[in-house]
Amino acid sequence: MTITAAADGSALGNPGPNGWAWYIDDDNWGAGGSPHGTNNQGELQAVLELLKATAGSDEKLHIWCDSRYVIDSVTKWMPGWKRRGWRKSDGGPVLNRDLLEGIDEAMRGRNVEFSWVKGHAGDDLNEAADERANAAAKAYQQKQEPQRGPGFTRGGGATASAPARESTKAPEPLAPAASTPPASASPLWAEASDLLDGLDAPAAEPITLQLALTGEEHARLRDRAEAQGVSIEQALRRLI
């Protein structure tokens, strides 16, 4: 059986008061935050806290996220970052390294899979996690203690294998996350995303390009830019 949970983050001002939350069902969820942080930090913290809360279970953990930054960081970019001593391909430091290292450690020896689900689209699990993360951020904004939830009450072993609450929509499946690269991997090996990360070849002649992006596309581009520590324009240039 599989534990299925949504993890989400929120930041008022980005950066500003932020919150995180993970949600399995009404009896199994957790939330928290900080007076100051980014949305990406909240997203990562939600995943880390979920991994910690379910550490006593030997069941597979399926995490649904609406942040491609989180999923790509853990499933695509992290092996390359680790090989380079937590440096990006351009030599710059990896942002949110402490949270990423915590996630990497918490996943070791566990069967963890990530799937992307569109945010604010009516998905039950995602909406529940988003609501609690946003409430936690608002609590810190008002200098109040957030509702932290009951935590993971199923316990370990067979109890944790009870069927998870189903959502109204199926997420986009992704390959299971690997906390470490294969032992046979060559030091020169890189994911395709690693090849794009840090690539910024100038054009022979400057060209003015205008693009119309949806809100979701702009958010994904912003997350990628923050992950790489560059401006949105630079992140778009690297993709091109």
Which sequence positions are flagged as catalytic? 8-9, 43, 66, 120, 130
Nearest CA to 174 out of 76, 41, 57, 106 is that of: 76
Nearest CA to 151 out of 13, 226, 55 is that of: 55
Nearest CA to 51 out of 26, 76, 24, 69 is that of: 24
Hunting for tokens 């790509």 — which residue is that?
Answer: 72
Hunting for tokens 């020169």 — which residue is that?
Answer: 188
Which amino acid type is present at position 180? T
Q: Are strands 112-116 and 28-37 parallel, antiparallel or unpaired?
A: unpaired
Nearest CA to 43 out of 219, 234, 171 is that of: 219
Which amino acid type is present at position 74? V
Hunting for tokens 């189903």 — which residue is that?
Answer: 166
| Partners of residue 113 on adjacent β-strands | 62, 176
Nearest CA to 171 out of 220, 97, 114 is that of: 114
Rounded-to-10 torsion of CA 194, 196, 202, 204: 130
Q: What are phi and psi of 34, to 5 degrees?
A: -155, 160
